[in-house]
Amino acid sequence: MSALSNSNWDRRNVLRAAMGLAAAGGLTACGGNNGRSGGGSGDSLVQYFHAYGEAGTEQAIKKYAKAYKGANVSTQWITGSNFEQKLFAALLTKNAPDVFEFHPQIQLIKSGQVADLSDIINPVKDDFNQADITSHTVDGKIYGVRMIDDPQFFFYRPSLFAKAKVEVPTTLEELIEVSAKLKTNKIKGAYLGNDLTPVQSNLIWSAGADTLTADNKPAFNTDGVAEGLKQLRTLFTSGNLLLGAPTDWWDPSAFIQGLTAIQWCGMWAMPAMQQALGDDIGIFPFPKVGSAGKQSVTNGGWSMFVNAKGKNVEAAKEYVKWLWIDQKEYQEDWATSYGFHIPPRTSIAQTATKLKTGLPAEGVKLFNEFGHFDNIGWTQAMISSVNDVMANCVRKNDDPKAQLDACEKKVDTELKKLFG
Amino acid sequence: MSTTTTRGVAQPASAKVSKDRPRRGLRASSTFNFWLFTAPFLIGLIVFVFVPIGWSIYLSFFEARFTVTPSDFVGFENYKQVLTDVDFLNSLVTFSVFAAFIVPTTWAFSLGLALLVNRLRFMRAFFRSVFFLPTAVSYVAASLIWKMSLFNGVRFGLANTVIGWFGVDNIAWLASPDPPWYWLVIVTVRLWLQSGFYMILFIAALQNIPRELYEAASIDGAKPGWQTFRYITLPQLRATSTAVILLLLVAAYQAFDEFFNLLSKATWGQPPLVELYKMALGENQNYGAGSAGAVVLTMLICVVTLLQGKIMGFGRGEEGK
């Protein structure tokens, strides 16, 4: 040992070996190990998905990708609640995904981040829900393929309603009253998500207003919406609302575990709820706000986009066409085998037997009767501005009219940047 | 004995070899060795710190939404936007409140722990490890445990279970700013995470205080306990306390993880880093305004640190005090 430590030759060799290894490592890093699976240049694609809560979804997406022979497709399954931020940041780098799921937003198109998919959608355009086609179209070009439509509404326990002798609410005042009657020392009346933002668009629609006008001007700053915000504040401070639940609104756990009698959630959670509660589940839309309003349902969902700045745009488009236009079997599997979603393709929706009867069929009915689809001009920055209104008015008790005015200014600035 | 003699002869031989092969050229150069070992860190520093800072300053003068290679020069427009942004200004207030809570609390708590552990006769190493262990836990993991298990708003959350024994109704600790229960959650999680580290620093400092001082004080009639602590222990810990307070203040400025994870979609309780993250990397993707905010915040941190150093004498020699 001492001989070794006294030898300059050995020390030098050790240093050389270490530097050699470092150099080799560096050269290796310059090769193909970039996180993508196998293949030479041009036949590897990366797709981004947010983590779905339903068991089996990640495996399903990877199974579809593996079945594709045109390229090696690897999947980044993004966990956590900030998929948007991770996606936006990744799109600015060289490691941006080639294909990603998101909601239609004009900002992505204006900044040249998503590719025009008209050529792959046009041949089957008529088979899609036309509201979905509209929400993905700018200047006659279609920029994304809808994968699933996700109606969101209130779920409730009919047995608890019967016990409390209350009816399904049709107005926001009734929802507040019903929540008070349903609340016991074990269970809260209603759950609208921990920060109440999931219902913010419904509050606007149910008050007879809209996020934007047809010619892209702010349309949410009305007296009806301000009144609705005040009513929500009443519900928030009543002690009848479930707040601070360990899982958020999109997860049915709070409802299943008996923490709340009513929960705002999506149709995707129906199978899990039915498994836990059997037939003791009902659904109703977001109730009317004020006299000029109308009940509303959010028709959320996810769409596939191709990164226009990616290295493999054509290969990515081919993959999107193969999976989300040609492979109807996979599309039905994705929409109905895990959580329940409505397939945006009419031909698939008509044959989806799981959505034909019972509660899922009722969900489809509410979707058709009260649904509001994505507005491509309503961007993430605008959504974030309304998030602040919900936080400041409902959770913090600021003046709704002043907050709506401030929000309108922010949204107006965004609109001017987008539409001039 | 002879063996010993042989070994004694053998050792100078090694020195002779060394003398016969004097170090020459680059191998002999201490400058080469300096650069050999310093260069990787220096390159890292330049690539990952100085270049991003320079790029950030560059971005702060451009309209840079959804791009980090902008072309639209806007002068000081981003600075104007940031300095008139109510949310950013509120974030500085939030930081001040947070620092006012966390710095003295952590200082006192870790010093108290150090005094307790230092007095232990048995199992000192065990308790030292127990209190130090949370330092190894990630802020994100701890925040999620605090949010989902200890301070959730439902009846089976630990905090609500405990107050439920006294007939108090469930509290939604993080849902509302009125009353501001969220501070309790934020301060306790950080206290738990970092007290152990500062406790170790204080233990080291306590062990360096000469016993003779306490013996002399005892002979002079000083009572053990508060009097000894007040007039001997505390003054002897002055240098460590100054360093601890400086580190705590810097850590408070860096607060991000627990606020980000505990207060999602809140407009209150947002420290500067969360506000800048939202500005640059959130839904707005406004790298220009975010960079301007980062420059403003960096300058602010420099000023505060220099002021604190001047007031508390950090870095000055004993003679300078």
The 10s digit of each residue's pLDDT in B27-51 is 568 888 999 999 999 999 999 999 9
Distances B246 to A2, A273, A318, B204 between C-alpha atoms, Å: 44, 52, 57, 18
What digits encode the pLDDT tens for the residues B177-198? 999 999 999 999 999 999 999 9
Rg (CA), chain B: 27
* Interface check B264 vs A, CB under 8 A: yes
Question: Phi-psi region for residue B103, left (φ > 0), alpha (ψ -120 to 50) or beta?
Answer: alpha
Note the pLDDT of residue B11: 46
B contact residues 93-132, partner A, Cβ 8 Å cutoff: none
Q: How far, in whole angstroms, is CA A177 from its chain's centroid?
A: 30
Work out the angle at residue B105's Cα, subtended by the Cα atoms of residues B102 and B110, and round it to the nearest 5 degrees: 115
Above 80 in pLDDT, residue B6? no
Query: Does residue B302 or residue A198 have the better pLDDT?
Result: A198
Cα A134 to Cα A53: distance, rounded to the nearest angstrom: 28
Phi, psi of B134 (to 5 degrees): -55, -25
Question: Nearest CB to A391: which of B169, B172, B266?
Answer: B266
Interface of A to B at Cβ within 8 Å reads: 6, 8, 81, 84-85, 88-89, 92, 107, 111, 113, 186, 194-195, 197, 236, 239, 242-246, 254, 259, 379-381, 383-384, 387-388, 390-392, 395-397, 417
What digits encode the pLDDT tens for the residues B268-290? 999 999 999 999 988 778 999 99
Q: Which of A214, A174, A203, A201 is nearest to A190 (CA)?
A: A174
Q: Are residues A391 and B66, on separate chains, in Cβ contact within 8 Å?
A: no
Cα B121 to Cα A235: distance, rounded to the nearest angstrom: 57
CA atoms within a 13 Å half-sphere pointing along the CA-CB vector of A387: 19
Contact A256, A275 (CB under 8 A): no
Residues of A in contact with B281 (CB under 8 A): 85, 88-89
Distances A357 to A353, A360, A362, B67 between C-alpha atoms, Å: 8, 6, 8, 48
Q: Which one of B184, B285, B287 makes the best mutation probe of the A interface by having the most chain A beta carbons within 10 Å? A: B285
Question: Nearest CB to B66: which of A111, A259, A388?
Answer: A111
Note the pLDDT of residue B39: 95
Above 60 in pLDDT, residue B96? yes
Work out the angle at residue A320's Cα, subtended by the Cα atoms of residues A62 and A301, and round it to the nearest 5 degrees: 80
Note the pLDDT of residue B24: 57
Please count the other Cβ atoms lying within 10 Å of the Cβ belonging to residue B19: 9
Tell me the mean pLDDT in the region B70-90: 93
SS3 B294: helix
Residues of B in contact with A259 (CB under 8 A): 154-155
What's the whole-model pTM score?
0.84
Cα A118 to Cα A125: distance, rounded to the nearest angstrom: 9
Cα B312 to Cα B321: distance, rounded to the nearest angstrom: 9
CA atoms within a 13 Å half-sphere pointing along the CA-CB vector of A84: 20
Residue with tokens 């109703």: A284
Note the pLDDT of residue A3: 35
Note the pLDDT of residue B14: 47
Q: Are residues A244 and B157, on separate chains, in Cβ contact within 8 Å?
A: yes
Kindly state the DSSP code that residue A209 receives in the 8-state scheme.
-
Q: For residue B147, what are the contacts with CB-CB under 8 A and spacing of at least 6?
A: A246, B174, B185, B261, B262
CA atoms within a 13 Å half-sphere pointing along the CA-CB vector of A283: 25
Phi, psi of A126 (to 5 degrees): -70, -20
Euclidean distance between the first and final Cα of chain A, in Å? 76
Please count the other Cβ atoms lying within 10 Å of the Cβ belonging to residue B37: 10
Contact A334, A146 (CB under 8 A): no
Above 90 in pLDDT, residue B2? no
Residue with tokens 């409505």: A342
What digits encode the pLDDT tens for the residues A260-295? 999 999 999 999 999 999 999 999 999 999 988 999
- Supply the DSSP string of A55-104, one letter for each residue: TTHHHHHHHHHHH--SSEEEEEEE-SS-HHHHHHHHTTSTT--SEEEE--
Contact B189, B144 (CB under 8 A): no
Which residues of chain A register pLDDT less than 70? 1-42
SS3 A50: strand
Note the pLDDT of residue A29: 39
Kindly state the DSSP code that residue A345 receives in the 8-state scheme.
B
Residue A296, both tokens:
């509303």
- Supply the DSSP string of A244-289, one letter for each residue: S-SS-TTSTHHHHTTSEEEEEEEGGGHHHHHHHHTT--EEEPBPB-
Contact A235, A401 (CB under 8 A): no
Q: Which of A182, A242, A392, A81 is nearest to B172 (CA)?
A: A242
Question: Nearest CB to B282: which of A85, A111, A391?
Answer: A85
Cα B260 to Cα A280: distance, rounded to the nearest angstrom: 37
Give me the count of residues in chain A.
Answer: 420
Residues of A in contact with B268 (CB under 8 A): 391, 396
Residues of B in contact with A417 (CB under 8 A): 65
**What interface predicted TM-score (ipTM) does this complex get?**
0.81
Q: Are residues A195 and B265, on separate chains, in Cβ contact within 8 Å?
A: yes
Above 90 in pLDDT, residue B20? no
SS3 A153: strand
Q: Are residues B178 and A111, on separate chains, in Cβ contact within 8 Å?
A: no
Secondary structure of chain B: what % helix, strand, coil (to 5)? 75, 0, 25
What digits encode the pLDDT tens for the residues B201-251? 999 999 999 999 999 998 988 888 888 999 999 999 999 998 999 899 889
Query: Does residue B3 or residue A354 have the better pLDDT?
Result: A354
Pairing outcome for strands A297-306 and A371-372: parallel
